[in-house]
Amino acid sequence: MAVDVNTLGRASSRGRPRVSVRYPPFENLDEATLREVRRFRVHPLGAIQHTSERIPYNSGKKDFSSKTGREGFEVFHYDFKLPGDEVAYTVMWDYSVGLVRMTPFFKCCGYPKTMPAKMLGMNPGLKDITYSITGGSIKAQGYWMPYPCARAVCATFCYKISPALVPIFGPRFPADCIPEGAPDYQRMVIDPSIVHQARLEAQQSIQQLAAARARTPTTDTSRIESP
């Protein structure tokens, strides 16, 4: 099963990004693409890069921090609505390491809550690098998956809502989606090489973070005398 993370703290530290942005939103779009994106009332389109929030990890269990080397998510987010519907779905991703919250994609396409777990079972190795958030900030709950894997999985079943995902996955995403009626539409099986590469990148990220922390000097408070 996916790594189960019990508690994330409430979203905090809104504003400018705290760490390097490796996965920025796609907002500089041509007019034809913008027309399609606007059909889904994406908000705040044009200012998603200013939605930075930090969602700390506050659980007593250390699965998330030990497996990622991090203490929380640094996220961008935006909302979209299906044409003719007023229900808003929140897209959220970690702009530093690329973990993507998958819940809104399955939900708005009408899949049951059991579908994400079923999808993980159909892609060997993917569940080991996907994190299940089950507490803390409500909008952060659900499965979080590495960006390349998330994009590939969404391309198998998000054809109908593909313009709404352009800000996170890029202007080529609609063309990359499997269309309705195609044999692999909604099959949700992705190229194993994508999973393999994502696993390697996750391991490298942890090693780099550990090395950076090892280079950072710490203060030994036990050697400081009280005045």
Dump pLDDT digits (tens) for 108-133. 999 999 999 999 999 999 999 998 87
pLDDT exceeding 70 applies to what percent of the chain?
76
| pLDDT(14) > 90 | no
Tell me the pLDDT of the chain averaged across its residues: 84
Dump pLDDT digits (tens) for 39-79. 999 999 999 999 999 887 654 445 555 555 566 789 999 99
**Cβ atoms of 5 and 64 closer than 8 Å:** yes
**Cβ atoms of 177 and 169 closer than 8 Å:** no
pTM for the whole thing?
0.83
Residue 175 lies in a domain: yes
Structural domain boundaries enclosing 127: 3-213
Q: Please state the domain count of the chain.
A: 1
pLDDT band at residue 142 using 50, 70 and 90 as cut-offs: confident
Residue 75 lies in a domain: yes
Residue 219 lies in a domain: no
Residue 223 lies in a domain: no
Residue 220 lies in a domain: no
More confident residue, 200 or 18: 200
Contacts 24+ apart (CB under 8 A), 122-125: 122/188, 122/189, 123/149, 123/153, 123/188, 123/189, 123/190, 123/192, 123/195, 124/192, 124/195, 125/192, 125/195, 125/196, 125/199
More confident residue, 34 or 71: 34
Residue 64 lies in a domain: yes
Dump pLDDT digits (tens) for 179-220. 999 999 999 999 999 999 999 988 887 676 666 657 765 444
Residue 225 lies in a domain: no
> Which residues pair with residue 81 across a beta bridge?
88
| pLDDT(135) > 80 | no
Return d(Cα 188, Cα 115) in angstroms, integer. Answer: 10
Residue 226 lies in a domain: no
